[in-house]
Structures are given as C-alpha cells and as structure tokens.
Amino acid sequence: DRDRPLRGARLVVSAGPTREALDPVRFISNRSSGKMGYALAAAAARAGAQVTLVSGPVALPTPPGLERIDVETAADMHAAVMALMGEADIYIGAAAVADYRPSEIAPVKLKKGRGASVIALTQNPDIVADVAALKPKPFVVGFAAETDDLENYARGKLIAKNLDMIAANWIGREDGGFDSDRNALQVYWPGGAASLAMTEKSALAEQLITLIAEHFHAKNST
C-alpha cells in the first residue's frame, strides 16, 4: 500500500518539552514547541498508523485521527510511554525531555533572599533508552538535538541507547530546530544515513515517516 505505508502499525510519538517543578509556580523547561513531534504524529496517522501522541505542555491543537495523552514531567512521560509499549510496533522520541529535575519540590512558593540560591538536581529516567531495552522491543527512533559535532553525538546516541534510527537536528541556529516552523534532519541507522533538507516540519515529517516505514518493514521481514 504505497499511500499508507504504515497501515495497521501501532505507533507512539512523544512531543514537546517536559516541565520539572521547583515550587507550586516555577519550573525548569526548554524551548520545544511540540511542532516536530505533532507533525510526525499527523504524518504517521495519514500513513495509516494507529497513533498515540504523548505530549508535554504545548499550545498546539490535536491533529485529526489520533489519541493524545497529556503529561507534564519527564517521570509522567516515562510512565505514560512505558504503559503503551506492550501494544506498540514503533516508538518515536521527538520530545525534548528534561535530563534533570529539581531534587526537591518546595511545597510553598520559594521566597527571595532566604536560604540557598543553588538548585540540587536529580537525573531523570531516559525514556527512549528504556523503550529500546524492552524485549521484545518496538522499532525505536530517537532524536538528537546538537549545537556541535552533530554526526558524532548522534551516532553515539544511536549506539549507546540501542536505537534503530536517530534523527539529528542542529539547534541554536537561525533556521530550524526548536520552535521554528522549519527544520532539517540528518538521519542515521546502523550501516546508513540520509540527509533531509531544510523545509516545513510538515513536509519533513512525511519524509521521515516514509524512511521509518521502509526500515520498519525491512527489519520485520528479516
């Protein structure tokens, strides 16, 4: 089925940032808008997949034809994703998950001028690595957001996290990456690579979904 290359596949995508609370009103987060993950979820649904979108806090409408689960913290996202993995054929980790959370959440609003001005941090679980450690594991696609040495870091994450594919993007440049409507991706898998040029995230997502479908079917037929 050329138009619907993921027909029948059960696919989970994570998107957006996570928020890690400091106190009832403050949090640590990042610049992810969710646009890349939402574009992938929409493209996967158009390709015939049964899509669940696990979303951090973003200001985007839910694309048609898919289920959306809203989460806030990395721990929430980890729990929501892992609970879906018994039923999933493909996992795409497009979320910008906070690597660390404040070690303590103050129960009341922190006041200035009192006590320590240092925030102690605790490492969060790595969702995409935990998914890729499952047996049997779904086809796992990670992202890599890099400001330098993109190929080395991306290939390092591909191997360290035991991923089937990784889509790497430059961040902190004029065009593409966080929040922009456009992006470009260098895609790596064991033994190969592809370059997807700068374009709208919707068009880029269609190209990446086509590539994922090819590799997913190739892996399942061996």
Torsion of Cα atoms, 20 then 26 then 30 then 33, to 10°: 100
The answer to whether the annotation marks 126 as part of a ligand binding site is yes
CA distance 116 to 204: 45
30 is catalytic: yes
* Nearest distance from C-beta of residue 162 to ligand PMT, angstroms: 12
State in angstroms the smallest separation of the CB of 73 from ligand PMT. Answer: 11
Smallest distance from ligand PMT to CB 85, Å:
13
Nearest to 128 by CA among 105, 155, 150, 95: 95
Return the range that interacts with ligand PMT (CB under 6 A); candidates 33-41, 62-70, 101-109, 113-121: 33-41
Examine residue 94 and tell whether it contacts ligand PMT (CB under 6 A).
yes
Question: How would you classify the pairing of strands 165-170 and 139-146?
Answer: parallel
126 binds ligand PMT (CB under 6 A): yes
What's the min distance (Å) between Cβ of 177 and ligand PMT? 5
Q: What character string, x for contact with ligand PMT (CB under 6 A) and - otherwise, covers 142-181?
A: xxxx-----------x-----------x-x-----xxx--
Residue with structure tokens 């951090």? 56
CB 204 within 8 A of CB 212: no
How would you class 196 by CB atoms within 10 Å of its CB: exposed for 0-12, middle for 13-18, buried for 19 or more? buried
> Which is nearer to ligand PMT, 37 or 138 (by Cβ)?
37
In 3D space, the residue among 3, 132, 21 whose CA is nearest the CA of residue 75 turns out to be 21
SS3 146: strand
The answer to whether the annotation marks 69 as part of a ligand binding site is no
The interface region with ligand PMT, picked from 35-43, 111-119, 202-210, 213-221 by CB under 6 A, is 35-43
109 is in an annotated binding site: yes
The two three-digit tokens of residue 199, written as one number:
């374009």
Q: Give how far the C-alpha of residue 2 lies from the chain's centroid of Cα atoms, to the nearest Å.
A: 26
Joined tokens for residue 71: 């989460």
Q: Which residues are annotated as a binding site?
A: 99, 109, 125-128, 143, 157, 161
Binding site for ligand PMT (CB under 6 A): 16, 32-37, 74, 93-97, 99, 124, 126-128, 142-145, 157, 169, 171, 177-179
List the catalytic residues.
30
